[in-house]
A and B are shown apart, each in its own frame.
Chain A
């Protein structure tokens, strides 16, 4: 009897476990996928119904309010349309990606594709994303030109799969890494906005002499410190070579002297005490706030800075925008810019593909993008959209850039991220010099890339 009871107990625990294990691999059943509409007639096939779209702005922000207005317009124009907006920015990505894996993806989502990032090609390769090229090739009735021609050619590399040339993402906005400076402060102290690295160090010294910390930077988020080395290497090494070494593991970081040169320039900036006092323990929001409070003269940040900090910018603050300074004698790309396109992708399993296409068409229309640039301050990847008034000079900056290159060299989704950015942080914190940084980077990159 005791034996039977014991077996019963074991069975009651183990059998459900094994059963659940056996069932667990497949994920949730996928929703019924709608056949992709004909590229020529998709606009006639738009019908009402619910769609879920990922959005980047957080609740309560003017940016989200703007998108809610766009959604309301869509619902008004298409009877029965019901647009549910889901927060899809960084912190929400893990949960959303799990939904994609389980076959329960939103109809429209961000960060599922980037043609310049090998780690973000997998979703497209697995057939999870809708190929948008047939739709983008059609003539848009409002412009009389193919929809694709509406976008700046510089962002095509982000939208397009490098191997198949299919398009899996459409940019709702562009994030450019630029050097913001406090124009009021520069004018007050007679400092020239820096166009070259030498001018940057001079400007930093002048600000220091005026009692202002030259550069705001956060010490609590390593990739933002890494923006400095990323941009320096762009100038001293060049994108293709740096991307090859850092992200793809092609060759060693010691092969090109430009890597060490870039690190030495960063060390020089550190040794001049150019960074915000106490930056090591300063969060990025606080660093950004200190810049707008006039406690620092410059900050290297994405062009989203103005829309993100809109509520904290004093009305009389005079902002200047510059490309990352060029490096005289540098063998890299002197006119390229690091950038990221915020791409919207459509799930191939979406239950309402025409309405999803209409959502991204509306969000990326010249009219919507122009209003967005003016009201929210987002930089657009759509041609003919004026520069955001809050970002004076950004069109000039973009106009002078001969190429946009992928921000962070696509490192953020790779193992090499845990090698590169902590070592740059150690350099900025004064824990090691440029040579030691290079040695440690070499060791770490060889370990993660196995070369």
Chain B
């Protein structure tokens, strides 16, 4: 009786959130699936096509190339993002002089717009007029100078680096919050027992941050699988498709070719991929709660 009364109270409180979820998430999702079952003309006229778009998608090498690039970007990006983010967050969680200044420096790029950051890095990466290659040459490391955005071997990593550079501040803030929530008595006990800082970090802090890391890994995967703006501005998906992601392909198909049905099918496939990756990461990284 008491539970039933509780439920009656909960429902009205949930309604606003559910209505928002319905209008801004479920409706677009349902609509996208609906679009993917149609063929569009440039003027927007539609004809029902059934699963034809999905059949085409299954044999489209451009889609699989973009999917491969998107996964690579996610993987390379996680390598570029998490080790430095954890190291910076750990350093900032220590009582260091000028901590506020360092926090500002790390967080500052986050407030810049993607367009500004992309154009800035486009200049920095320029093979002859930029700053990176001349700097390498002046240090006697001319052999490392590359046409960063123009070489299929480096372009994806170069774009990923810009994306990580721009966003790392957010991840550092989240990790700092994680470090600050660690129980100080456990850490002190380890130090009293003679553990060095590296040992404390490796054997106590990291295991205790596992849940947070799992969440951050899922967030990164979901975010990077949707990558669009940096690629669009820096390389447009080139050279010859080596940085084309599912997002840029979808944009091109929808707005250059006005093929909204096919673009919607790509979008639905991306949702399925993202949900699968999130589920898999959650499953693989899930561990029993630590008791202390």
Write the residues of chain A forming the contact surface with B, with a CB cutoff of 8 angstroms: 1-2, 5, 8-9, 12-14, 16-18, 20-21, 24-25, 27, 93-94, 97, 100-101, 119-120, 122-123, 126, 128, 219-222, 277-283, 286, 290, 412-415, 417-418, 422-423, 425-426, 429, 431, 447
Partner of A425, one of B22, B45, B148, B240: B240
Which DSSP category, helix, strand, loop or mixed, fits chain A's interface?
A: helix
Q: How far is the CA of A122 from the CA of B259 in the complex (A)?
A: 13
Q: How far is the CA of A85 from the CA of B18 in the complex (A)?
A: 41
Smallest beta-carbon distance A324→chain B, Å? 24
Smallest beta-carbon distance B101→chain A, Å? 34
Partner of A9, one of B14, B62, B149, B241: B14
Closest-by-CB residue of B relative to A213 is B128
Q: Are A122 and B43 in contact (CB under 8 A)?
A: yes
Chain B: number of interface residues, binned into ranges: 35 or more
Smallest beta-carbon distance A441→chain B, Å? 12
Q: Are B257 and A21 in contact (CB under 8 A)?
A: no
7 residue pairs from A and B, CB less than 8 Å apart:
A9-B18, A16-B22, A94-B254, A101-B43, A119-B42, A122-B41, A277-B127
Q: How far is the CA of A13 from the CA of B8 in the complex (A)?
A: 18
Partner of A220, one of B21, B41, B236, B258: B236
The A-contacting residues of B in range 200-228, CB under 8 angstroms, are none
Partner of B236, one of A16, A221, A280, A286: A221
0 or 1 for each of B10-22: is its CB under 8 Å from A? (1 = yes): 0100110011011
Contacts of A429 in B (CB 8 A): 150, 239-240
Q: Are B31 and A418 in contact (CB under 8 A)?
A: no
Count: A-B pairs, CB below 8 Å? 135
0 or 1 for each of B135-176: is its CB under 8 Å from A? (1 = yes): 000000000001111111000000000000000000000000
Are A13 and B26 CB-contacts (below 8 A) given A27-B44, A97-B255, A280-B147? yes
Task: Determine whether B27 belongs to the interface, using a CB cutoff of 8 Å to chain A.
Answer: yes
Q: How far is the CA of A395 from the CA of B122 in the complex (A)?
A: 37
Contacts of B22 in A (CB 8 A): 12-14, 16-17
Q: Are A280 and B127 in contact (CB under 8 A)?
A: yes
Q: How far is the CA of A106 from the CA of B257 in the complex (A)?
A: 21
Q: How far is the CA of A279 from the CA of B23 in the complex (A)?
A: 47
Q: Are A2 and B26 in contact (CB under 8 A)?
A: no
Q: Are A2 and B7 in contact (CB under 8 A)?
A: yes
Q: Are B11 and A5 in contact (CB under 8 A)?
A: yes
Q: How far is the CA of A425 from the CA of B122 in the complex (A)?
A: 19
Q: Are B126 and A101 in contact (CB under 8 A)?
A: no
Task: Determine whether B30 belongs to the interface, using a CB cutoff of 8 Å to chain A.
Answer: yes
Contacts of B44 in A (CB 8 A): 27, 101
Contacts of A20 in B (CB 8 A): 23, 27, 31
Contacts of A422 in B (CB 8 A): 238-241
Q: How far is the CA of A286 from the CA of B123 in the complex (A)?
A: 9
Closest-by-CB residue of B relative to A223 is B236
Further contacts, 7 of them, CB under 8 A, given A279-B150, A282-B126, A418-B241 = A12-B15, A126-B41, A219-B150, A219-B238, A290-B129, A425-B238, A447-B61
Closest-by-CB residue of A relative to B22 is A13
Name the residue among A2, A13, A93 with the largest chain B CB count within 10 angstroms.
Answer: A13
Closest-by-CB residue of A relative to B242 is A422
Q: How far is the CA of A34 from the CA of B187 in the complex (A)?
A: 77
Smallest beta-carbon distance B35→chain A, Å? 9
0 or 1 for each of B30-74: is its CB under 8 Å from A? (1 = yes): 110010000001111110000000000000011000000000000
Partner of B43, one of A123, A222, A283: A123
Contacts of B235 in A (CB 8 A): 220
Q: Are A13 and B255 in contact (CB under 8 A)?
A: no
Q: Are B238 and A16 in contact (CB under 8 A)?
A: no
Q: How far is the CA of A101 from the CA of B34 in the complex (A)?
A: 18
Task: Determine whether B4 belongs to the interface, using a CB cutoff of 8 Å to chain A.
Answer: yes
Partner of A21, one of B30, B122, B241: B30
Are A417 and B256 CB-contacts (below 8 A) given A278-B147, A286-B126, A425-B238? yes
Q: How far is the CA of A219 from the CA of B11 in the complex (A)?
A: 58
Contacts of A27 in B (CB 8 A): 44
Smallest beta-carbon distance B56→chain A, Å? 11
A-B residue pairs, 4 tightest by C-beta: A280-B150, A278-B127, A281-B150, A101-B44
Q: How far is the CA of A278 from the CA of B137 in the complex (A)?
A: 15
The A-contacting residues of B in range 111-135, CB under 8 angstroms, are 122, 125-129
Contacts of B27 in A (CB 8 A): 16-17, 20-21
Q: How far is the CA of A58 from the CA of B132 in the complex (A)?
A: 31
Q: How far is the CA of A414 from the CA of B146 in the complex (A)?
A: 33
Q: How far is the CA of A13 from the CA of B81 in the complex (A)?
A: 38
